[in-house]
Amino acid sequence: MIRSVRRVFIYVSIFVLILILKRQLSTTDQMKQPVVVIGSGLAGLTTSNRLISKFKIPVVLLDKAASIGGNSIKASSGINGAQTDTQQKLKIMDTHELFLEDTVHSAKGRGIPLLMDKLTKESTSAVKWLQTEFNLKLDLLAQLGGHSAPRTHRSSGKLPPGFEIVQALSKKLKDISSKDSSLMKIMLNSEVVDIELNNDGHVTGVIYLDENGSRKILKSHNVVFCSGGFGFSKEMLREFSPDLIHLPTTNGKQTTGDGQKILSKLGAELIDMDQVQVHPTGFIDPNDRENNWKFLAAEALRGLGGILLHPTTGRRFTNELNTRDAVTMDIQSKCPRSDNRALLVMSEKVYDKYTNNINFYMSKNLVKKVPIRDLIQNYDLQTTEPDLVNELKNYSDVDTKDKFDRSLIINSFDGNISPETSVYVGEITPVVHFTMGGVKINENSQVIMKNSESVLSKGLYAVGEVSGGVHGANRLGGSSLLECVVFGKIAAENIAKLY
């Protein structure tokens, strides 16, 4: 009897020991598995850098494109931040509360206020992180449409802000990868098609197609979707915003809503999917006018003093610094519907403030420097030289209230302007630019389950344009890059807590 009891005790002890060892091995296996980040725009680059540099957590960065950067690399106005060192140095008065107020006003009752609060409060540290961790100056400011203060940061120098930021963050990851591929691995031409879950609904892996089209599985317990919006997908625009499918777009061909589709299939809540931002100013290439892809005419061009003229009358017709949706509406309703365009006209002073960018646009034949006399002739404006000169003079008169209530008039045209005075001009048209809707997330960047406030799956995150709720019905210029940094850092920090 005693031997039997002993034998049972030994068997039970062995069984318990096996369970403990199995659990420990499982935990060790989980610890060894990298975090998989899907998408190499600023959201993915921020998340990856934070995980590696601060927490030493290994990362595999996947992107279906052949190069790093996504749409972030094309961002040309800058990144927003309130109460930053740059604002203090330039004696700009701004607060998180004022930034939040502008964001909520722009959102028009849509979106998730808690995420907007997080976006604006964390903006100071987001800009600071880029300045200190990556030695980015971000020492210049512009006041874009819908903002109550100059808070959109860019660096003095030759590089556009999106390109500069992406270059700095990607270089650091590439350097780490070259030294330690077990800590950082970059896999391009790798298209994610599904997420593997266990019976408990926890993430266990990422299913993707490699560059040869072969189906592969990458084991991981933490996946961060940074896969962008769906502004290039006519299919998704037809489903969620069919009235916009005829418009051109600034989005790259990779912007097809893959993340939204995969996560929705898994049971994620989608929010504000019908809220698609049409940017008022995409450049019309005079050599390829019908091309569906347009180069963005940065909002900073207007924020730094550029104005919009009617393509027939040669007169201003809108407050150029209103929110993007309002300026777009004015172009679409007040300019000829058959040729939905306007003229973006800038002074020599604007050129002096934004020289490198405007030089780039000129190299692409998107902006031309012409005398006012030629402006009338080249664009067949139905106006006279004296009338157009007076239009520019009236706009430049800071002692008179602007007829469209534009609050910020800087870098305007000289008082001695004449038909021989040269200006910078480009043709613009409204373009599909950004999708405010996406996967619903909480303040920890975790994906939320459909018809619930619960987290969809442990270890599943979404950052950047793939997510929804941060901007509501209309995004402020400069807040897309900010969203990527703020919520990318948040995702990394929450992964680290549970890793």
Q: Kindly list the catalytic residues.
A: 279, 302
Beta bridge partners of 464: none
Angle value at C-alpha 360, between 418 and 300, nearest 5 degrees? 70
How many Cβ atoms from other residues are within 10 Å of residue 371's Cβ? 16
φ/ψ of residue 33, rounded to 5:
-70, 135
Q: Classify strands 59-62 and 184-187 as parallel, antiparallel or unpaired.
A: parallel
Nearest one of 135, 157, 115, 134 to 46, comparing CA atoms: 134
Tokens of 324: 């993007």
Determine the Cα–Cα distance for residues 231 and 253; give it in Å rounded to an integer: 9
CA 191 to chain centre: 21
Determine the Cα–Cα distance for residues 137 and 483; give it in Å rounded to an integer: 19
* Region for 451 from its dihedrals, namely left if φ exceeds 0, alpha if ψ lies in -120 to 50, beta otherwise: left
Give the residue carrying structure tokens 């599904």.
Answer: 194
Determine the Cα–Cα distance for residues 436 and 196; give it in Å rounded to an integer: 27
Side chain identity, residue 276:
V
3-state DSSP call for residue 27? helix
E strand intervals along 365-453: 368-371, 422-435, 438-440
Angle value at C-alpha 137, between 131 and 139, nearest 5 degrees? 115
* Region for 135 from its dihedrals, namely left if φ exceeds 0, alpha if ψ lies in -120 to 50, beta otherwise: left
3-state DSSP call for residue 327? helix
Determine the Cα–Cα distance for residues 1 and 7; give it in Å rounded to an integer: 10
Strands of the 59-62 sheet, one edge to the other: 184-187, 59-62, 35-38, 223-225, 460-462
Let me know: does 495 contact 222? Beta carbons within 8 Å: yes
Provide the CB-side half-sphere exposure for 79 (13 A, CA).
36
Q: Classify strands 460-462 and 223-225 as parallel, antiparallel or unpaired.
A: parallel
